[in-house]
Amino acid sequence: MIKQHTHDYRDINFRTFTVSVSLLGVTAATASNYSVFFTAHRPCELIRIVESHQAPGTGAGAVTLDIFKLTGTQDPDTGGVSMLASTFNLKSTANTIVEGTLTTTRRDRILAKNNRITLKDSGTLSSVGGLNVVLEFLLLDNI
What's the whole-number average pLDDT of the chain? Answer: 90
Query: From CA 83, how far away is CA 4, in angstroms rounded?
Result: 38
User: Hey, which of 4-8, 15-19, 97-101 has the most confident mean pLDDT?
Assistant: 97-101
The pLDDT > 90 percentage for the chain reads 85
Q: Above 50 in pLDDT, residue 126?
A: yes
- pLDDT confidence of residue 60: 86
Do residues 110 and 44 make contact, with C-beta atoms less than 8 angstroms apart? yes
CB count, 10 Å around CB of 130? 17
Short-list 68, 66, 47, 50, CA closest to 115: 68
Q: Above 90 in pLDDT, residue 66?
A: yes
The mean pLDDT of 100-121, rounded to a whole number, is: 98
CB count, 10 Å around CB of 91? 18
132 residue type, one letter: N
86 or 9, higher pLDDT: 86
Q: Above 60 in pLDDT, residue 116?
A: yes
Q: Is 9 helix (H, G, I), strand (E, B) or coil?
A: coil
